[in-house]
Amino acid sequence: MRNYFYSLLLICALRTPAKAQTIQPFKAGDRVVFTGNSITDGGHYHSYIWLYYMTHFPDRRITVFNAGIGGDVSKQILERLDSDVFAKKPTVVTLTFGMNDTGYQNLTGSKADSVYAAKVTESLKSFRLMEQKLMQHPETRKIMIASSPYDETAKIKTTPLRGKNIAMLKIAADQQLTAIKHHWDFVDFNHPITEINLKQQQSDSTFTLEGSDRIHPTNDGQMVMAYLFLKAQGLSGKKVAFLRINSKPMDKITAENCKIDAISYKKNTISFNYLAASLPYPLDTISGGFGRPAKAQVEALKVIPFTDDFNQEILEVKGLNPSAQYTLKIDGEPMGSWSGTDYDKGINLALINATPQYQQALAVMHLNEERWTIERRLREYYWMHYSILKPKGLLFNDGLPTVDSLQKYAKKDFFVAVTVPTYQKARFKAVREAWQKEIGLLTDEIYRINKPVTHHIEITLAANN
């Protein structure tokens, strides 16, 4: 009972008003380093955030880096801040930790309380040192991120570690107080995701955004994290485009974040050229991420209003016959037919996957996924060094004796075994440099093809009317 009331106090303590959750959007030229543990290392949330900027702000080029290392606690993050984070010359650094810091002991009662208290104290001791180091970089904006939660309530096979998330909230509360003290930014992933889990578990007790291990969000959970971050940046409500026209000539036209010209009114047909300033946000339908069964990014739409908040490309046509059907064509290709009533309410073009602008956005998404995949190879190399080789005094020693040592170690460590094949390639500087060049080429190509183009739109009375 004491733990229950304490958790309520923590929830109240960590709750912040909307204003405190608002952080500045990224600006052109920003170099953003997302720092964390495996949830960042193997996760997609930073990539999904970047994809939003790629599509919604095609001329606002930024660079996003993954600086996650699986298994890290605050002490390990502290030790690599210079070599792995600030070496990237960031203008913005995010920091999230706490999952590994609180441990994975299955204890109850007063013993659990004392163990968690000791682990939290140890974690915050290193955070204090990180705080000092972060203060040495006034040129860099800092964003503290309260970790995504440990799910103790889902009715799944993995036995929950009671009290773990409460301990994580203590770390998050300290992050928030530190952010307030230094006027840094703060974003809370823990409470909103916990609320979603609890709400969904009312109808499906097995539901979780944290994957089968209760820890690692699958791609839908990673998309929720991206949504929360973009929401905190105050970007909600920024439409892809909004266009309102009337079926009668000379009536007022409203065009937001887009331009139209060459509008033509003929019998039963309205046509015009349309150029949006943004692309719709494409959502991957392929399952992936931590845990089995894995989930697709698009499944996040079941639990967050991402479409309403971030993916509105609205076409309204006033004055059409409410009961008649009208066919929409873009660049001569039919997209579907809707009633005059539907057009009056507005058609969200961002939900029509066949539009040329959505297809253009899909190409951006796939190039971004390829970029993410290559970056993950590099992160596996750095994981091997920081997590396995550094404690042995072999940091960035890539000689053949190190390879032999790892191959032997792999026989008793599953994670090393699955990472050795990538390491054997990445240990060569030329290979790493080639991968980095490929990331650069992919990013250049993304910012080449992500510019919206003009499309010709026709709205015609359907033949069956």
Q: Which of 322, 276, 320 is nearest to 452 (CA)?
A: 276
- Residue 179 CA to residue 187 CA, distance in Å, equals 10
Q: How many CB atoms lie within 10 A of CB 128?
A: 12
**How far is it, in rounded angstroms, from Cα 34 to Cα 77?**
12
CA-CA-CA-CA dihedral for 385, 102, 220, 303, to nearest 10: -160
The predicted pLDDT at position 434 comes to 98
Are the C-beta atoms of residues 308 and 238 closer than 8 Å to each other? no
Which of 2.60.40, 3.10.450, 2.30.29, 1.10.1060 would CATH assign to domain 241-282+294-358+451-461? 2.60.40
pLDDT value, residue 21: 56
What distance in Å separates the CA atoms of residue 402 and residue 390, rounded to the nearest whole number? Answer: 12
| Dist CA 434 CA 402 (whole Å) | 22
Cβ burial of 229 (10 Å; 0-12, 13-18, 19+) is buried
CA–CA separation, 356 and 465 (whole Å): 27
Report how far Cα 432 is from the mean position of its chain's Cα atoms. 25
What string of pLDDT tens digits covers the 465 residues of the chain? 334 343 444 445 454 433 445 799 999 999 999 999 999 999 999 999 999 999 999 999 999 999 999 999 999 999 999 999 999 999 999 999 999 999 999 988 889 899 999 999 999 999 999 999 999 999 999 999 999 999 999 999 999 999 999 999 999 999 999 999 999 999 999 999 999 999 999 999 999 999 999 999 999 999 999 999 999 999 999 999 999 999 887 678 999 999 999 999 998 999 999 999 999 999 988 776 665 457 889 999 999 999 999 999 999 999 999 999 999 999 999 999 999 999 999 999 999 999 999 999 999 999 999 999 999 999 999 999 999 999 999 999 999 999 999 999 999 999 999 999 999 999 999 999 999 999 999 999 999 999 999 999 999 998 777
DSSP track, 50-96: HHHHHHH-TTS--EEEEEE-TT--HHHHHHTIIIIIGGG--SEEEE-
Tokens of 96: 């999230």
Number of other residues whose CB lies within 10 A of the CB of residue 277: 17
Domain extents in the chain: 2-232, 241-282+294-358+451-461, 361-449
What does the pLDDT read at residue 248? 83
Tokens of 41: 């290392």
CB contact set of 320 (below 8 Å; sequence gap of 6+): 247, 326, 340, 343, 344, 459
CA torsion angle 178 226 438 240 (round to 10) = -130
Determine contact, residues 317/242, Cβ cutoff 8 Å: no
Q: Which residue has the tokens 């309403």?
A: 308
What is the number of alpha carbons within 13 Å of residue 386 lying toward its C-beta?
27
Cβ atoms within 10 A of the Cβ of 121, count? 10
Give me the pLDDT at residue 293, please.
55
Residue type, 46: H
Give the H/E segment covering residue 270.
Answer: strand 269-276
Q: Which residues pair with 256 in a beta bridge?
A: 242
Is residue 418 helix, strand or coil?
helix
Record: fold of 2-232: Rossmann fold (3.40.50)
- The one-character DSSP state at 389 is I
Using CA atoms, how far residue 458 sits from 316, 335, 455, in Å, is 13, 10, 10
Q: Which residue is associated with the tokens 């602008």?
A: 357
**What is the spatial distance between Cα 89 and Cα 63, in angstroms, rounded to a whole number?**
11
